[in-house]
Amino acid sequence: NSTARKITWLLKDSPVFHLAFSALSIIGSNIMKITARIVPATIKGILLPSFVCTLSDSVPNTGSRKIANTLSSAMTAPVICTGQDRLLCYDAGGNYLTVLDKSGSAVFSQTPEQTIFDADLSSGGYSAMLTAGDSGRSLLQVYDPNGSLLYKRSTKSHYLSACAVSPDGSHAAAVALGQADITFSASLQLYRTDSEEIAAECALGSEIPYDIAFVTDSVVCAVSEDRVRFFAADGTESGAYVAENGRIADYHFGGDGFVTVLVDPYETSSRAELITLQPDGSVLAQLSLSFMPVSLSACGSYVGILTAEKALLYTSALEPVAQTEQDGTAVCILARSDGTALLAGTGTASLFLP
Protein backbone atom coordinates (compact mmCIF):
# COMPACT_ATOMS: atom_id res chain seq x y z
CA ASN A 1 0.00 0.00 0.00
CA SER A 2 1.79 3.16 -1.21
CA THR A 3 -0.22 5.27 1.24
CA ALA A 4 0.83 3.21 4.24
CA ARG A 5 2.83 4.86 7.03
CA LYS A 6 4.47 3.16 9.99
CA ILE A 7 4.25 4.41 13.55
CA THR A 8 7.02 2.88 15.60
CA TRP A 9 7.31 2.65 19.36
CA LEU A 10 10.86 2.09 20.62
CA LEU A 11 11.06 -0.03 23.75
CA LYS A 12 14.51 0.77 25.01
CA ASP A 13 15.45 2.92 28.04
CA SER A 14 12.14 4.73 27.65
CA PRO A 15 9.63 4.37 24.83
CA VAL A 16 9.64 7.05 22.16
CA PHE A 17 7.98 7.20 18.80
CA HIS A 18 9.64 7.15 15.41
CA LEU A 19 7.42 8.45 12.63
CA ALA A 20 7.87 8.79 8.91
CA PHE A 21 5.87 12.00 8.99
CA SER A 22 6.56 15.70 8.80
CA ALA A 23 5.80 17.16 12.22
CA LEU A 24 6.07 15.66 15.67
CA SER A 25 6.84 16.55 19.25
CA ILE A 26 7.27 14.78 22.57
CA ILE A 27 5.39 15.38 25.82
CA GLY A 28 7.40 13.53 28.42
CA SER A 29 10.47 11.31 28.19
CA ASN A 30 8.46 8.53 26.63
CA ILE A 31 5.49 10.37 25.20
CA MET A 32 4.83 12.04 21.89
CA LYS A 33 2.24 14.30 20.34
CA ILE A 34 2.18 15.08 16.65
CA THR A 35 1.24 18.50 15.33
CA ALA A 36 0.46 19.84 11.89
CA ARG A 37 -0.07 23.33 10.51
CA ILE A 38 -3.42 24.23 9.01
CA VAL A 39 -2.64 27.73 7.82
CA PRO A 40 -2.82 29.86 9.81
CA ALA A 41 -3.72 27.48 12.64
CA THR A 42 -2.08 24.52 14.33
CA ILE A 43 -4.06 21.58 15.62
CA LYS A 44 -3.64 18.67 17.96
CA GLY A 45 -2.44 15.63 16.10
CA ILE A 46 -1.49 15.30 12.49
CA LEU A 47 -3.81 15.01 9.51
CA LEU A 48 -2.40 12.63 6.92
CA PRO A 49 -3.51 10.94 3.73
CA SER A 50 -5.44 7.72 4.10
CA PHE A 51 -3.26 4.98 5.51
CA VAL A 52 -3.12 1.83 7.58
CA CYS A 53 -1.50 2.51 10.95
CA THR A 54 0.95 -0.07 12.29
CA LEU A 55 2.44 0.17 15.79
CA SER A 56 5.62 -1.74 16.57
CA ASP A 57 9.04 -1.33 18.15
CA SER A 58 11.00 -2.36 15.07
CA VAL A 59 12.89 0.56 13.51
CA PRO A 60 14.69 0.40 10.16
CA ASN A 61 18.50 0.34 10.40
CA THR A 62 18.48 -0.05 14.20
CA GLY A 63 18.53 -3.82 14.43
CA SER A 64 15.79 -6.27 15.26
CA ARG A 65 13.58 -5.58 18.27
CA LYS A 66 10.63 -7.42 19.72
CA ILE A 67 7.33 -6.27 18.26
CA ALA A 68 5.14 -4.74 20.97
CA ASN A 69 1.87 -4.86 19.10
CA THR A 70 0.34 -4.10 15.75
CA LEU A 71 -2.88 -2.20 15.18
CA SER A 72 -4.18 -1.82 11.65
CA SER A 73 -7.08 0.46 10.91
CA ALA A 74 -7.87 2.29 7.69
CA MET A 75 -8.42 6.00 8.38
CA THR A 76 -9.03 8.92 6.06
CA ALA A 77 -7.58 11.65 8.32
CA PRO A 78 -5.75 10.06 11.28
CA VAL A 79 -4.92 12.27 14.27
CA ILE A 80 -2.65 11.17 17.11
CA CYS A 81 -2.14 12.69 20.58
CA THR A 82 -0.72 11.27 23.79
CA GLY A 83 -0.90 11.41 27.56
CA GLN A 84 1.68 10.23 30.06
CA ASP A 85 1.69 6.57 28.99
CA ARG A 86 -1.17 6.35 26.51
CA LEU A 87 -1.69 7.03 22.83
CA LEU A 88 -5.02 8.18 21.41
CA CYS A 89 -5.68 7.86 17.69
CA TYR A 90 -8.86 8.93 15.91
CA ASP A 91 -10.13 9.54 12.42
CA ALA A 92 -11.01 13.24 12.10
CA GLY A 93 -14.27 13.47 10.21
CA GLY A 94 -14.66 9.71 10.61
CA ASN A 95 -16.08 7.30 13.17
CA TYR A 96 -13.18 5.57 14.88
CA LEU A 97 -11.20 6.32 18.06
CA THR A 98 -8.88 4.10 20.06
CA VAL A 99 -6.63 4.46 23.12
CA LEU A 100 -3.51 2.29 23.46
CA ASP A 101 -1.31 1.70 26.49
CA LYS A 102 2.51 1.65 26.39
CA SER A 103 2.57 -2.03 25.48
CA GLY A 104 0.57 -1.26 22.35
CA SER A 105 -2.58 -2.96 23.65
CA ALA A 106 -5.94 -1.27 23.12
CA VAL A 107 -7.39 0.07 26.38
CA PHE A 108 -10.69 0.88 24.70
CA SER A 109 -12.12 1.91 21.34
CA GLN A 110 -15.15 3.88 20.21
CA THR A 111 -17.04 3.80 16.92
CA PRO A 112 -19.62 6.59 17.28
CA GLU A 113 -22.39 6.87 14.71
CA GLN A 114 -21.72 10.58 14.32
CA THR A 115 -18.62 12.31 12.92
CA ILE A 116 -15.67 12.89 15.26
CA PHE A 117 -14.60 16.56 15.33
CA ASP A 118 -11.84 16.51 17.95
CA ALA A 119 -10.39 14.48 20.82
CA ASP A 120 -7.93 14.91 23.66
CA LEU A 121 -5.93 12.71 26.03
CA SER A 122 -4.63 13.97 29.37
CA SER A 123 -1.45 12.96 31.16
CA GLY A 124 -3.63 11.16 33.71
CA GLY A 125 -5.15 8.88 31.07
CA TYR A 126 -8.53 10.67 30.79
CA SER A 127 -9.83 11.20 27.28
CA ALA A 128 -12.40 13.46 25.65
CA MET A 129 -14.21 12.98 22.36
CA LEU A 130 -16.18 15.65 20.51
CA THR A 131 -18.65 14.53 17.85
CA ALA A 132 -21.69 15.72 15.98
CA GLY A 133 -24.78 15.26 18.13
CA ASP A 134 -27.67 12.90 17.53
CA SER A 135 -30.31 15.44 18.53
CA GLY A 136 -28.09 18.50 18.94
CA ARG A 137 -25.26 20.26 17.21
CA SER A 138 -22.39 18.76 19.22
CA LEU A 139 -21.76 16.02 21.77
CA LEU A 140 -18.85 16.05 24.24
CA GLN A 141 -17.98 12.86 26.10
CA VAL A 142 -15.23 12.30 28.70
CA TYR A 143 -13.91 8.84 29.60
CA ASP A 144 -11.90 7.68 32.59
CA PRO A 145 -8.59 5.78 32.14
CA ASN A 146 -10.49 2.47 31.93
CA GLY A 147 -12.70 3.73 29.12
CA SER A 148 -15.86 4.16 31.20
CA LEU A 149 -18.02 7.18 30.39
CA LEU A 150 -17.43 9.87 33.01
CA TYR A 151 -19.20 12.90 31.54
CA LYS A 152 -21.55 13.64 28.65
CA ARG A 153 -22.89 16.95 27.35
CA SER A 154 -25.00 17.74 24.29
CA THR A 155 -25.40 21.24 22.85
CA LYS A 156 -28.38 22.46 20.84
CA SER A 157 -27.73 26.19 20.37
CA HIS A 158 -24.11 26.23 19.19
CA TYR A 159 -21.31 24.12 17.80
CA LEU A 160 -18.25 22.93 19.73
CA SER A 161 -15.02 23.05 17.70
CA ALA A 162 -12.30 21.87 20.12
CA CYS A 163 -12.11 20.05 23.43
CA ALA A 164 -9.69 19.34 26.29
CA VAL A 165 -9.71 17.36 29.53
CA SER A 166 -7.68 18.07 32.67
CA PRO A 167 -4.92 15.69 33.88
CA ASP A 168 -7.03 14.47 36.81
CA GLY A 169 -10.26 14.31 34.80
CA SER A 170 -12.06 16.74 37.12
CA HIS A 171 -12.60 19.36 34.41
CA ALA A 172 -13.22 19.54 30.70
CA ALA A 173 -13.30 22.49 28.31
CA ALA A 174 -14.59 23.22 24.84
CA VAL A 175 -14.63 26.07 22.34
CA ALA A 176 -18.23 27.04 21.53
CA LEU A 177 -19.09 28.81 18.28
CA GLY A 178 -22.29 30.83 18.06
CA GLN A 179 -23.80 34.16 17.16
CA ALA A 180 -24.43 37.32 19.17
CA ASP A 181 -27.04 39.47 17.43
CA ILE A 182 -25.74 39.41 13.84
CA THR A 183 -22.09 38.94 14.80
CA PHE A 184 -20.21 35.66 14.94
CA SER A 185 -18.83 34.95 18.40
CA ALA A 186 -16.83 32.29 20.25
CA SER A 187 -16.52 31.35 23.90
CA LEU A 188 -14.59 28.96 26.10
CA GLN A 189 -16.88 26.72 28.13
CA LEU A 190 -15.57 25.06 31.28
CA TYR A 191 -17.22 22.04 32.89
CA ARG A 192 -16.85 19.99 36.04
CA THR A 193 -17.15 16.33 35.14
CA ASP A 194 -19.21 15.67 38.28
CA SER A 195 -21.85 18.29 37.43
CA GLU A 196 -24.35 18.76 34.61
CA GLU A 197 -24.11 22.57 34.70
CA ILE A 198 -21.58 24.70 32.84
CA ALA A 199 -19.03 25.74 35.48
CA ALA A 200 -18.03 28.90 33.60
CA GLU A 201 -18.16 30.49 30.16
CA CYS A 202 -15.54 32.96 28.96
CA ALA A 203 -16.42 35.25 26.05
CA LEU A 204 -13.79 35.32 23.32
CA GLY A 205 -15.61 37.59 20.85
CA SER A 206 -14.50 37.01 17.26
CA GLU A 207 -11.28 35.38 18.47
CA ILE A 208 -11.24 31.70 17.53
CA PRO A 209 -8.61 29.58 19.34
CA TYR A 210 -6.34 27.38 17.26
CA ASP A 211 -6.19 24.94 20.15
CA ILE A 212 -6.90 24.57 23.87
CA ALA A 213 -5.17 22.50 26.56
CA PHE A 214 -5.05 22.17 30.32
CA VAL A 215 -1.62 23.24 31.58
CA THR A 216 -2.56 22.24 35.15
CA ASP A 217 -5.56 20.44 36.69
CA SER A 218 -7.43 23.73 36.92
CA VAL A 219 -5.89 26.10 34.33
CA VAL A 220 -6.71 25.89 30.64
CA CYS A 221 -4.76 27.66 27.90
CA ALA A 222 -6.23 28.93 24.62
CA VAL A 223 -3.96 29.87 21.70
CA SER A 224 -5.28 32.04 18.89
CA GLU A 225 -3.77 34.03 16.02
CA ASP A 226 -2.17 36.79 18.08
CA ARG A 227 -2.58 35.84 21.75
CA VAL A 228 -2.34 33.16 24.39
CA ARG A 229 -4.89 33.31 27.21
CA PHE A 230 -5.05 31.39 30.48
CA PHE A 231 -8.28 30.72 32.38
CA ALA A 232 -8.89 29.25 35.81
CA ALA A 233 -11.58 26.58 36.25
CA ASP A 234 -13.99 29.20 37.62
CA GLY A 235 -13.70 31.22 34.39
CA THR A 236 -11.37 33.88 35.74
CA GLU A 237 -8.76 34.94 33.21
CA SER A 238 -5.49 34.42 35.06
CA GLY A 239 -3.31 36.01 32.41
CA ALA A 240 -2.65 36.60 28.74
CA TYR A 241 0.15 37.22 26.29
CA VAL A 242 -0.48 39.35 23.20
CA ALA A 243 1.82 39.17 20.18
CA GLU A 244 1.83 42.84 19.23
CA ASN A 245 2.53 43.60 15.56
CA GLY A 246 2.79 39.92 14.73
CA ARG A 247 1.14 36.53 14.76
CA ILE A 248 1.67 33.24 16.55
CA ALA A 249 3.27 30.98 13.95
CA ASP A 250 3.61 27.88 16.15
CA TYR A 251 3.19 26.74 19.75
CA HIS A 252 3.66 23.74 22.02
CA PHE A 253 2.03 22.64 25.28
CA GLY A 254 4.63 19.99 26.18
CA GLY A 255 6.71 22.00 28.65
CA ASP A 256 6.53 21.33 32.37
CA GLY A 257 4.76 24.41 33.76
CA PHE A 258 5.21 26.58 30.67
CA VAL A 259 3.81 27.07 27.16
CA THR A 260 6.13 27.71 24.22
CA VAL A 261 5.17 30.00 21.35
CA LEU A 262 6.89 31.08 18.18
CA VAL A 263 5.95 34.57 17.04
CA ASP A 264 6.38 35.87 13.50
CA PRO A 265 6.61 39.66 14.13
CA TYR A 266 5.95 40.77 10.58
CA GLU A 267 4.84 37.59 8.83
CA THR A 268 8.07 37.59 6.82
CA SER A 269 9.11 34.03 7.78
CA SER A 270 12.71 35.26 7.97
CA ARG A 271 12.88 35.97 11.69
CA ALA A 272 10.97 34.99 14.81
CA GLU A 273 10.62 35.44 18.55
CA LEU A 274 10.82 32.28 20.65
CA ILE A 275 8.92 32.79 23.91
CA THR A 276 8.12 30.65 26.94
CA LEU A 277 5.08 31.64 29.01
CA GLN A 278 4.09 30.83 32.57
CA PRO A 279 0.47 29.86 33.45
CA ASP A 280 -0.26 33.43 34.55
CA GLY A 281 0.56 34.73 31.06
CA SER A 282 3.86 36.33 32.06
CA VAL A 283 6.93 35.87 29.88
CA LEU A 284 9.37 33.38 31.37
CA ALA A 285 11.95 34.00 28.66
CA GLN A 286 12.21 35.46 25.16
CA LEU A 287 14.80 34.93 22.44
CA SER A 288 15.10 36.72 19.10
CA LEU A 289 15.90 34.43 16.17
CA SER A 290 17.24 35.48 12.76
CA PHE A 291 15.34 32.63 11.13
CA MET A 292 11.97 30.88 11.25
CA PRO A 293 12.29 27.30 12.60
CA VAL A 294 10.65 24.52 10.64
CA SER A 295 9.80 22.56 13.80
CA LEU A 296 9.23 23.37 17.47
CA SER A 297 9.00 21.01 20.44
CA ALA A 298 8.99 21.29 24.23
CA CYS A 299 9.29 18.61 26.88
CA GLY A 300 9.97 18.75 30.62
CA SER A 301 12.23 21.75 31.10
CA TYR A 302 13.62 21.76 27.54
CA VAL A 303 12.72 23.44 24.23
CA GLY A 304 13.95 22.25 20.84
CA ILE A 305 13.86 23.99 17.47
CA LEU A 306 14.92 22.74 14.06
CA THR A 307 16.09 24.47 10.88
CA ALA A 308 17.21 22.98 7.59
CA GLU A 309 20.82 23.22 8.77
CA LYS A 310 20.80 22.53 12.52
CA ALA A 311 18.93 21.50 15.64
CA LEU A 312 19.12 23.59 18.81
CA LEU A 313 18.17 22.77 22.39
CA TYR A 314 17.39 25.31 25.13
CA THR A 315 16.21 25.28 28.71
CA SER A 316 12.78 26.69 29.54
CA ALA A 317 14.63 29.94 30.32
CA LEU A 318 15.88 29.77 26.70
CA GLU A 319 19.48 29.33 27.73
CA PRO A 320 21.45 27.36 25.09
CA VAL A 321 22.07 23.71 25.93
CA ALA A 322 23.48 22.25 22.71
CA GLN A 323 23.23 22.29 18.94
CA THR A 324 24.12 19.96 16.10
CA GLU A 325 24.38 20.28 12.34
CA GLN A 326 22.00 18.41 10.06
CA ASP A 327 21.81 18.00 6.28
CA GLY A 328 18.10 18.65 5.91
CA THR A 329 17.12 15.01 6.27
CA ALA A 330 15.28 15.74 9.53
CA VAL A 331 12.06 17.70 9.18
CA CYS A 332 10.98 17.70 12.82
CA ILE A 333 12.48 17.69 16.29
CA LEU A 334 11.17 15.91 19.38
CA ALA A 335 12.58 17.33 22.60
CA ARG A 336 12.80 14.84 25.49
CA SER A 337 12.72 15.44 29.22
CA ASP A 338 16.28 14.12 29.69
CA GLY A 339 17.73 16.90 27.53
CA THR A 340 18.13 14.80 24.38
CA ALA A 341 16.11 15.11 21.19
CA LEU A 342 14.91 12.90 18.36
CA LEU A 343 15.44 14.28 14.84
CA ALA A 344 13.00 12.63 12.47
CA GLY A 345 12.49 12.64 8.74
CA THR A 346 10.84 10.47 6.12
CA GLY A 347 11.79 6.90 6.89
CA THR A 348 14.60 7.79 9.29
CA ALA A 349 15.29 9.19 12.74
CA SER A 350 18.37 9.84 14.87
CA LEU A 351 18.85 10.60 18.56
CA PHE A 352 20.71 13.83 19.37
CA LEU A 353 22.78 13.34 22.52
CA PRO A 354 24.31 16.66 23.67
pLDDT number for residue 323: 94
Question: pTM here?
Answer: 0.78
- For residue 40, whether the previous peptide bond is cis, meaning omega lies within 30 degrees of 0, is yes
pLDDT along the chain (354 residues), means of 10: 26 28 33 31 33 37 46 75 82 92 88 94 94 86 96 90 95 89 86 94 89 92 94 94 91 92 81 94 95 92 94 97 91 90 85 89
pLDDT at 268: 65
How many CB atoms neighbour CB 198 within 10 A? 15
Task: Count other C-beta atoms under 10 Å from residue 278's C-beta.
Answer: 18
Three-class SS state of 241: strand
Give 233's contacts (C-beta < 8 A, 6+ positions apart): 171, 190, 192, 199, 200, 218, 219, 220
Alpha-carbon dihedral of residues 192, 196, 199, 205, nearest 10 degrees?
A: 120
The rounded radius of gyration (Å) of the Cα atoms in the chain is 19
> Do the Cβ atoms of 157 and 113 come closer than 8 Å?
no
Element at 303 (helix H, strand E): strand 302-306
Q: Judge whether 102 and 69 are in contact, CB under 8 Å.
A: no
Residue 348: its pLDDT value, please? 80
- For 335, the 3-state DSSP assignment is strand
Asked whether the beta carbons of 111 and 125 are under 8 A apart, the reply is no
DSSP H helical ranges for the chain: none
Q: What is the pLDDT of residue 123?
A: 87
